[in-house]
Amino acid sequence: MNKIKKGELKQEVFDLFDLYVHSKIDRREFMDKVSIYAVGGLTVPAILEYLLPNYQDKKQIQDGDPRLNTETIEYSSPKGGGKIKGQLSRPIDANGKLPGIVVVHENRGLNPHIADVGRRAALAGFISLSPDALTPLGGYPGTDDEGRTLQRQRDRQEMLEDFIAAFDTLKVHPECTGRVGVVGFCFGGWISNMMAVRIPDLGAAVPFYGGQPEAADVPAIKAPLLLQFASLDNRVNAGWPAYEAALKEHGKEYTAYMYPDANHGFHNDTTPRYDKEAAELAWKRTIDFFKEKLN
């Protein structure tokens, strides 16, 4: 049993892990760099094991939850990957049509955590579609390392088309009102921002620590934005001042929150970067925002 506690690791370890999971450094370089922090009985393998996600024990909404009607569907993405699979989920006792939410994964495909987030969105009173952009390569392969390797083989713009196609699919679903928003994390945060640029009738967008569009793209945004940032996420936050300036210049509707002492990935409750207080507040704000903008 791993007995490392979050407070035992310096922030530099989490910063290195962020570089590793975003393919800025490889596994060997990460292990080499983190070795200087393996002191006081800590070992490099133990640190890495501690940092990796624990999907088995951390699901909030289990597969097959009886409160939900959840299934795997396949939809067409002619400008992207052709045929894309995704998890479609909605409350079993829904009374009439529901607003929709596209849930966009990180840079590793539709792993168990993001599928769980999709089910959480459904349980909150929405019909959610959580696509897997790795479908053309066989789908999420079972580990995040393999998922990141596969996702790097796909073109980012084509994956954007896959999620735009998910919006189009959900909008006309017979159980959807036609009002659809998007929430995404990391890579999915960038996708959420870009869907706001590309889709004039997007109902709302909630990017979690996502890369920003070019300032020249901002005038095209019609959807209200709720932007969630982690104060320790220097990599993503570097682009926020220019983005905010462009949003202000063009009179766009947005609200931004910066969560103090939180790392990139703070909403992901399967890793020690998880910040319970920040994550729960951010998710409540997300659901309240969608209820306001999509109903």
In degrees and rounded to multiples of 5, residue 190 shows phi and psi of: -65, -45
Handedness of CA 262, 265, 266, 270 (dihedral sign): negative
Residue 77 is predicted with a pLDDT of 98
CATH code 3.40.50.1820 region(s) in the chain: 68-294
Is there a contact between 12 and 137 (Cβ–Cβ < 8 Å)? no
| CATH of span 68-294 | 3.40.50.1820
Contacting residues for 142 by C-beta, under 8 A, at least 6 apart:
none
Q: Tens-of-pLDDT digits for all 295 residues of the chain? A: 347 877 889 999 999 999 999 989 999 999 999 999 998 888 999 999 999 999 988 999 999 999 999 999 999 999 999 999 999 999 999 999 999 999 999 999 999 999 999 999 999 999 999 999 999 999 999 999 999 999 999 999 999 999 999 999 999 999 999 999 999 999 999 999 999 999 999 999 999 999 999 999 999 999 999 999 999 999 999 999 999 999 999 999 999 999 999 999 999 999 999 999 999 999 999 999 999 999 9
C-alpha–C-alpha distance, residues 186 and 143, integer Å: 17
Is there a contact between 213 and 189 (Cβ–Cβ < 8 Å)? no
Nearest to 100 by CA among 80, 75, 61, 130: 130
Tell me the pTM: 0.95
Sheet holding 82-91, edge to edge: 68-77, 82-91, 127-131, 98-104, 176-185, 204-208, 225-230, 254-259
C-alpha–C-alpha distance, residues 38 and 109, integer Å: 31
Strand partners, 72: 87
